[in-house]
């Protein structure tokens, strides 16, 4: 616990503030006490640094178990770092990985904590916003906690005399989304999909990203096989008529 605050206020936080000058909007939308889900887009490996920096409360993230299984001195230091930084290990290779992640997230929320989550399940392969996975909806339904949509925005910033580009980082926290109207419907995949799409719509609106109605992990898999992101999206995207029914914009009204 102490290591988390050391990283935030002594080791990483001050340096990141001076170099990147991150800005925050809507911090007042994050509950000062009690559990909540912070559902964010995922553009950079540094998202988990910049988002918690803007809040006084600790944020706990679910992280891949590989960060915690190293051996030797390096493995020990890596485990200590990620544990101290508020990361909780999740084994993504097991058959029950998705369910285990959901149960872990529910446990964190029932302890009254803030849970940071990336509904896309992976970093965006090309800067667009991809389809969210319904685990975030399941957690919200089973715990009854609000979901705060979060938008990470990175804009290029020129550094005079240096000739380098560093991103200008803005973190926007949207108004909490209340899904109590769906109480008792956890496990209903239609309801969970509707909730997830509503969350992604809010993130899309705040971030200004183009929405793509396919999973980012599927696109990355195609890219590993030598296919470009655009071509992968074209192959995976549903027909226009079906996409219109499923897109987050359809839930705006």
Residue 108: its pLDDT value, please?
Answer: 94
Look at residue 158 in the predicted model and tell me its pLDDT: 62
User: What predicted TM-score, i.e. pTM, was given to this entire model?
Assistant: 0.83
Q: What mean pLDDT comes out for the span 114-138?
A: 94
What does the pLDDT look like over 55-104, one tens digit per residue? 989 899 887 666 556 667 666 656 666 666 667 767 666 657 788 889 99
Going by C-alpha positions, the residue among 109, 69, 59 that lies closest to residue 89 is 69
Contact 51, 152 (CB under 8 A): yes
Biggest CA-to-CA distance, the chain: 59
* Distance from C-alpha of 185 to C-alpha of 142, rounded to nearest angstrom: 9
Confidence of residue 249 (pLDDT cuts 50, 70, 90): very low
pLDDT at residue 241 in the model? 47
pLDDT at 41: 97
C-alpha distances in angstroms, 61 versus 31, 84, 90, 101, 247? 17, 11, 10, 11, 27
pLDDT digits (tens, 9 = 90+) for 151-202: 999 987 665 544 456 788 999 999 999 999 999 999 999 999 999 999 999 9
Homologous superfamily of domain range 2-211: Glycerol-3-phosphate (1)-acyltransferase (3.40.1130.10)
Rounded Cα distance between 62 and 81, Å, is 14
Which carries the bigger pLDDT value, residue 249 or residue 41? 41
The count of other CB atoms within 10 Å of the CB of residue 226 is 7
**Domain range summary for the chain, segments of one domain joined by +:** 2-211
Give the chain's mean pLDDT: 83
Closest CA to 37 of 237, 173, 130, 128: 173
pLDDT at 28: 97
1-5, 169-173, 186-190, 206-210: the lowest-pLDDT one: 1-5
CA distance 30 to 148: 7
> Strands across the sheet with 87-90, in order?
23-25, 164-173, 147-159, 36-40, 114-117, 59-64, 87-90
pLDDT at residue 2, rounded to an integer:
58
User: What's the residue count for the chain?
Assistant: 253
pLDDT for res 162: 45
Contact 169/50 with Cβ under 8 angstroms? yes
- Integer angstrom CA distances of residue 13 from 48, 49, 233: 12, 8, 36
């Amino acid at each position: 616990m102490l290591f988390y605050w050391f990283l935030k206020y002594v080791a990483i936080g001050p340096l990141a503030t001076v170099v990147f000058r991150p800005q925050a909007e809507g911090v007042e939308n994050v509950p000062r006490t009690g559990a909540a889900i912070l559902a964010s887009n995922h553009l950079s490996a540094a998202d988990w640094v910049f988002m918690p920096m803007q809040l006084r409360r600790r944020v706990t993230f679910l992280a891949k178990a590989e960060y915690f299984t190293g051996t030797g001195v390096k493995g020990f230091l890596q485990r200590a770092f990620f544990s101290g930084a508020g990361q909780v290990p999740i084994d993504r290779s097991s058959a029950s990985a998705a369910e285990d992640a959901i149960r872990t997230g529910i446990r964190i929320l029932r302890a009254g904590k803030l849970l940071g989550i990336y509904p896309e399940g992976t970093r965006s392969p090309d800067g667009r916003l991809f389809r969210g996975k319904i685990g975030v909806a399941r957690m919200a339904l089973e715990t009854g906690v609000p979901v705060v949509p979060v938008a990470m925005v990175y804009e290029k910033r020129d550094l005079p005399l240096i000739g380098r580009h560093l991103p200008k980082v803005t973190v926007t926290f949207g108004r909490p989304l209340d899904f109590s109207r769906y109480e008792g419907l956890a496990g209903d995949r239609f309801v969970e999909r509707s909730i997830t799409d509503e969350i992604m719509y809010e993130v899309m609106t705040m971030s200004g990203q183009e929405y793509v109605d396919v999973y980012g992990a599927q696109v990355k898999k195609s890219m590993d096989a030598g296919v470009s992101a655009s071509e992968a999206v074209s192959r995976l995207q549903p027909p226009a008529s079906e996409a219109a029914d499923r897109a987050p914009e359809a839930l705006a009204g």
